[in-house]
Chain A
Amino acid sequence: MNRSIELTIKPKWDEIENVRNESTDFLISQGISNDSVQAFAMVISELVENSVKYGRFTSNKSKVTVSVNISENMIIAEVINPVDESVYHHLRKLDKTLQWIRGFQDPFQAYIQRIRQISRKPLDDEFSGLGLTTIAYEGQAI
């Protein structure tokens, strides 16, 4: 039985919903429990959203690739987008945020702290980092 799917999408916002629906259908078809499907669909949507937001798409051919792979005790979602040196600072920020989240035994603690930080960040700062903490806390996936 096929336990993986791969989707290739254009880096557009309205594609996120399509990916969410397709991956949800796939996970349901594989007998994954409803709670896990919802959590995982959220994780994939957040990842694709970040990918569209921070990827470096220089031509019409530039794409985002999403793959979902189910093994015995793990589901791996991989979202790949092109990058170059112009978005390198985003990679650094991502790296720092992931380390910060993983620094907590309980991702809930990271989630609570991030909400507090967001309520105290400058109004013109667009980066929230909430998506990643949500992936960790609600998706249990970091």
Chain B
Amino acid sequence: MKPLNGHRFKDGDEYSNIIVQAHNDSFELGCCRVLAERNNGENIGRLIFIDNIYDLESLVYHHKLVKIQDEFLNLPLLLERKEKIHEVFKNFVSNLTYDLNVYKNTFDGLDAEFACESDVVRKVLQQAIIKTEGPAFFNFLDQKMQEQEHIVKGFNRSEHEVHGFYFRTQLWDMIMGAPFMARTNLKPRGYAGDSEMMSMIYSADYRGKTTFFKLLHKHPINQPAAQAVRNRRHAIAKIIREIKGRTREKDASTLKLLSVACGPSKELEDALLTADDCRNLYLALLDQDASALLEAKETICQIEKKLNTKLEVDYLNESVRTLLALPHIEAKWGQFDFIYSMGLFDYLTPPAASMVLGKLYQLLKPGGEMVIGNFHVSNPNRYYMEYWLDWVLYYRTEEDFTNLLKGVSNAETKLFFEDNKVQMFLHVKRKD
């Protein structure tokens, strides 16, 4: 800051109000003090807020009036939240936090023992510790999950919400150290289950800065719910291959496939194994997330490169909910022989799920088939996902799932499960 019109600043001078004019607006920001600085004899200095503190950079460059202390406005709400927590749950969280810190300190101590070794040596030693000590830590976590389930399973929705928030607030530092848990909690793309999370589940490796966090990252990925995600990828690939095989025998016309909420489309790597598989095939890959579509494009490029062939693909950047508002979608996209969606319906309320299903059914050719996935109510990791990962799904029973199709006539339906029985699939065939 430099004074104008012959004014001089003296170190320690205080002003009762600073007025900033920016973006054709005037902002009164309150008291400030001068911190004088010398620069080649020039009288320059800084103005420091001594009451309310504002972010001037945000105001001048981004037209945002940010008062730093506003963060404190939420404190009463946040603090009183703990009053609703059951004592038994508080004890559980307290013991869990203590135990986790004991494990963390022990693993961190081991990491420190070989911190000076080369990367290669460190990696091998870390693998040895994971192999020898990891199972016991996983057993401890499994026991804690069971204990937690025992405490919370009778809670109503509102109790789950408030206890989940309390749980994550207490364990936030632990959660943030494990890459998978951090991502499901932070949801950087604005929703859970993004393609990066899927990629972590598919690769099922150890990630994290320390041995402890590598294990904490891996534990949820070892669970039946994550295995179900890996299983469904192979299950859907198998179905695509069966349908492709059937069509190949029948005629040489192009098989049209639509993948809804396609994500990175990794299942296509398992479904398209030869150049012949790619012939007479049209793929429409739909996702609301442009980043996911880029990853799907990458998958397609890799398949094309590997098989030395070209695939006919359209990438549709659309959300299924807004899809409902689009008129004449059938005329725009045509009809499909096979439509599938693996990880979408778990996020749709019953009315939305029913409407989307009806709309997708209209997009089937007569004789066309559709396979839709949804987690079953019996998912053994439900509370783990909700409390630790802040990952909430709409779980369905067999009846709930088939009822979504109630408004559709002429459909032939059957249900089946992946190998773990955690995720079910609704198979629909358009009869007419």
Contact = CB atoms under 8 A, between A and B. Distances in A.
Whether A associates with B in a native complex is yes
Contacts of A112: 74, 77-78
Contacts of A29: none
Which of A95, A107, A116 has the most chain B CB atoms closer than 10 A to its own CB?
A95
Contact of B165 (A88, A100, A105, A120): A105
A77 B11 CA distance: 62
Nearest to A78: B351
Interface string A50-86: 0000000000000000000000000000000001000
Contact of A102 (B58, B386, B392): B392
B347 A119 contact: no
Interface stretch (B65-73, B101-109, B359-367, B409-417): B65-73
A7 interface: no
Chain A interface, DSSP helix/strand/loop, else mixed: helix
A116 B67 CA distance: 11
A120 B164 contact: no
Give the interface residue-count category, chain A: 20 to 34
Contact of A105 (B77, B191, B322, B387): B387
Interface of B: 23, 25, 58, 62-67, 70-71, 73-74, 77-78, 81, 157-158, 160-162, 164-165, 187, 190-192, 288, 319, 321-322, 325, 347, 386-387, 390-392
A107 B192 CA distance: 15
B390 A92 contact: no
Interface stretch (A13-21, A30-38, A40-48, A121-129): A121-129
A108 B81 contact: yes
A124 B322 contact: no
B58 A120 contact: yes
7 contacts: A83-B325, A99-B190, A105-B161, A116-B71, A120-B66, A121-B64, A123-B23
A115 B74 contact: yes
B322 A91 contact: yes
Contacts of A99: 190-191, 347
A67 B392 CA distance: 28
A106 interface: yes
Nearest to B25: A123
Nearest to B318: A92
B58 A88 contact: no
Given A92-B322, A120-B58, A140 B190 contact: no
A96 interface: yes
Q: Which 6 pairs across A and B sit closest by C-beta, in order of nearness?
A: A106-B161, A106-B165, A105-B164, A119-B70, A95-B321, A122-B63
Contacts of A120: 58, 64, 66
